[in-house]
Structure 1
């Protein structure tokens, strides 16, 4: 088995198992490139032909595709207009309408029926990061979790937003707007839709400024010009070589991923990849990325983000007692931690169904549910999520004993405490943030002269409080304080506090230096494990 390419502290020394699940074949139009839209124009179209790029005035071939039967739609865009006066501030923000248009190229009417879907922008569904990190029960109307999660929740629940039509009829040889949203400048819009047609049709996503009339939106399609903001047009070779990741503009095959696995927890904890990528597959080589059937030339080569895809994973567990169901993201090597997931997850067990909102940073492992497993039987657990646009794929799903997670938390606390101590020691250089434990000698009163390292060798030591000044016999050199070393397991509670030597002739300054050195050694040993 290949070594893991993504480090998750929770599974240190353990291995992950592949899920080997499958995507279905439902075609989905993804409109996410350009992610940042700077003005009006076509974002993506599946009609035959091409459109003119604003950046180089050259034609780009459309992501041609004809839908017939089940289909899906995913839109995710930000609006940052080229005209700075439209960004807001003292002036009113500019407005951009993002709309999906259905095109009937045939001689018979085509009816579209929508099963579930939602369209939201960041003003309707703002994201409050300070309130939504960690794991919290999901309420009935989670519209304060960002537009990506707000739409994904309705898809997870199988709901059709009341503002969307349940049915649209497209007359022969005509175009019709099926969904739209008005997006203020600096905002984000996200839309997800699942439906079925009774005949062939095509789709396009367009952007129009300062209007939301259907005829103006269709007129943008007729103008045949792409919206500005396509920042990857000069990096086509890097995209094709897999050196950089663009966004997706094209048709992907698959709007659902299903997998099932059986595991005996008596043989050890369970770790499986969820939304795994070529970079983050945890040594399993199980890459859960669906392919693009057709795409724009500056699009990513596959649907690596899997935005809007529903994941249903069945865990059939043998074991007994309390376990934790844990959701993780790898440590971000060489960069600061970032928000890796802000979305909603459904968990179904024999005890019932619950939904939680998860705000997860890179490198974190968060328990999303406690599992009370019964011995002598298979305990089914289903984990479901519609992957939201406000997330970075490559996650790990684990079932571990309660004690394993508790030991991880203890280790994290020890490392954090050691880092804080080291930082404070560096700031103060000599005096640590806290006096070392078990120091019996108190500092001198403020009226006394401070002890200094610049004293001449002939200077007599400060008088001790009880003994008369007498000639002291020679003493052996003072040994350094014992270094705090984590036990071999690395996860047990902190050992007893360091005992610092308390020689009467040892200066307070030297004792502080010894304490700092011991803390630094402790930190190095902990970080090296």
Structure 2
């Protein structure tokens, strides 16, 4: 197994299969750069021309694109005003309106009809992490799951939020606000929209402080000034070379990804990438990232975040037995665990359709539910997710025997026991033995008086030894050899604490080896 995809503990000793799915060709305007908006101005504009950046007073070309027919919009922004007095506290918070504007450059009116969509901010849909980590059944109105998930849920269900219009007509050579959200300072907003036009039009997203009046929002567009907060303007070469992923401001092609795969579970577990990237593809080289047709110069090169994209993965499973459907995220090497996914997933099988909310930390593998496959028939299971903002792409979807997940949980328990033992040792202030002093190659020269014989100490009389009843001899534990320098003594898929006492270290290695041997025998390898 390659080291490149060994950082998901669940798939230790196993490989993943590529999905090789496809994106549709629907153009979607993404407004996510700058993510943190510090004041009023244009965020992204697809009309011909340019706008001036607040950071360097230089013109930046627009992400030029004309929509006609099916289209989508994705917006995701945070508001942290430059004026600290607007941040709240004792004073009232500042307000920022983020609005999408449709522009009709032609001589005929254009009508936009909306199929599904939602706009929420973090005050309408707050996120409660303490209650929403792990896997839980999804309620009918999950507005306490954060704005990114709240909008994605309505897209997953094919709903149009009642606050949004079903259609808007833009007169010839005019502009109209089609959707907006008033965002208090320190807040986050997310908007997703899917529709169809009966003619060509262009789109822009603008930000205005302390107003939500349509004419004032359009005046921001006419100012040709970009909103402050574009922190990547001095890193354009790093963006071009792929060293830096900024955020997306441009038009991506594709808002749905579909894939289908056949797998015989009697031959082993199934692991497939979901929202895979060039960094996290689990050895499959399957990159599930759609391209940008046009972008702002400080935008990412492609739609790596895939925010708002719907993924539908159909697994046609054969082979009977009790299995678990599991979602994983890679271990964050050298970093503390972070929230890697907080969103909603739909699961369709022969037993019906259900939805779960998932709150996942990096490095975790969470069971989404049990799958009871029937022998001698094909068991279709479809997993659907509209990828929510504030998640980190590069997940692994697995169907594994129940026993394999139990092994993983046992490993995690052992790691937790090791961690607690280390913390307990720290609390007791256990001091490690002092190493012997180094031996110098050259002997220290003798001083003038050091060659004289030293007087012998007078021997003291020994006390009479006392006698005790005989006891069984104590058997010392076997010595544990320390790992040699420069070698990795642990399974590549596991994370070990930085300091664990030698005996616990050896017991852990022995247990893991026994578990891996048992798993290979179970799989007939």
TM-score range, shorter chain: 0.7 to 0.9
Q: Which runs of 5+ in 1 are unaligned?
A: 432-457, 462-468, 491-514
Post-superposition offset of 1:415: 1.6
Q: Residues of 1 paired with 2:505 and 2:468: CA distance?
A: 33
* Residue aligning to 2:503: 518
Partner secondary structure for residue 151 of structure 1: helix
* Residue aligning to 2:52: 52
Q: Residues of 1 paired with 2:238 and 2:346: CA distance?
A: 38
Q: Which runs of 5+ in 2 are unaligned?
A: 432-459, 482-490, 492-499, 517-525
Q: Residues of 2 paired with 1:353 and 1:185: CA distance?
A: 39
Residue correspondence of structure 1 range 238-387 to structure 2 within 5 A: 238-387=238-387
Structure 2 residue 143 is the aligned partner of structure 1 residue 181: no
Deviations 1:458-513 (A, max 9, x none): 9x99xxxxxxx83359999954225899xxxx9xxxxxxxxxxxxxxxxxxxxxxx
2:6/2:12 contact within 8 Å kept: no
Residue correspondence of structure 1 range 128-277 to structure 2 within 5 A: 128-277=128-277
Post-superposition offset of 1:427: 2.6
Deviations 1:292-323 (A, max 9, x none): 00000000000000000000000000011211
1:422/1:519 contact within 8 Å kept: no
1:116/1:158 contact within 8 Å kept: yes
Task: Go from structure 1 to structure 2 and tell me whether the alpha carbon gap of 1:53 and 1:394 turns closer, same or farther (over 3 Å shift).
Answer: same
Task: Go from structure 1 to structure 2 and tell me whether the alpha carbon gap of 1:15 and 1:100 turns closer, same or farther (over 3 Å shift).
Answer: same
1:422/1:520 contact within 8 Å kept: no
1:418/1:522 contact within 8 Å kept: no
* Residue aligning to 1:112: 112
* Residue aligning to 2:122: 122
2:43/2:227 contact within 8 Å kept: yes
2:101/2:205 contact within 8 Å kept: yes
* Residue aligning to 1:471: 467
Q: Residues of 2 paired with 1:424 and 1:4: CA distance?
A: 34
Across the aligned residues of Structure 1 and Structure 2, the Cα RMSD in angstroms comes to: 2.7
Partner secondary structure for residue 136 of structure 1: strand
Q: Residues of 2 paired with 1:382 and 1:404: CA distance?
A: 22
Q: Residues of 2 paired with 1:221 and 1:79: CA distance?
A: 19
Q: Residues of 2 paired with 1:37 and 1:6: CA distance?
A: 38
Q: Residues of 2 paired with 1:220 and 1:5: CA distance?
A: 47
Deviations 1:58-87 (A, max 9, x none): 000000000000000000000000000000
Task: Go from structure 1 to structure 2 and tell me whether the alpha carbon gap of 1:525 and 1:239 turns closer, same or farther (over 3 Å shift).
Answer: farther
Task: Go from structure 1 to structure 2 and tell me whether the alpha carbon gap of 1:317 and 1:428 turns closer, same or farther (over 3 Å shift).
Answer: same
Post-superposition offset of 1:268: 0.3
Partner secondary structure for residue 336 of structure 1: coil
Post-superposition offset of 1:429: 3.7
Partner secondary structure for residue 220 of structure 1: helix
* Residue aligning to 2:91: 91
Q: Residues of 1 paired with 2:400 and 2:243: CA distance?
A: 36
1:2/1:285 contact within 8 Å kept: no
Aligned residues: 471
Q: Residues of 2 paired with 1:170 and 1:517: CA distance?
A: 73
Post-superposition offset of 1:41: 0.1
Q: Residues of 2 paired with 1:320 and 1:270: CA distance?
A: 14
Q: Residues of 2 paired with 1:241 and 1:474: CA distance?
A: 76
Q: Residues of 2 paired with 1:193 and 1:329: CA distance?
A: 28
* Residue aligning to 1:438: none
Deviations 1:350-390 (A, max 9, x none): 11000000000000000002101111100000000000002
* Residue aligning to 1:480: 476
1:5/1:279 contact within 8 Å kept: no
1:4/1:284 contact within 8 Å kept: no
Post-superposition offset of 1:40: 0.1
TM-score scaled by length of structure 1 = 0.85
2:411/2:512 contact within 8 Å kept: no
Task: Go from structure 1 to structure 2 and tell me whether the alpha carbon gap of 1:169 and 1:524 turns closer, same or farther (over 3 Å shift).
Answer: same
Task: Go from structure 1 to structure 2 and tell me whether the alpha carbon gap of 1:474 and 1:138 turns closer, same or farther (over 3 Å shift).
Answer: closer
Partner secondary structure for residue 263 of structure 1: strand
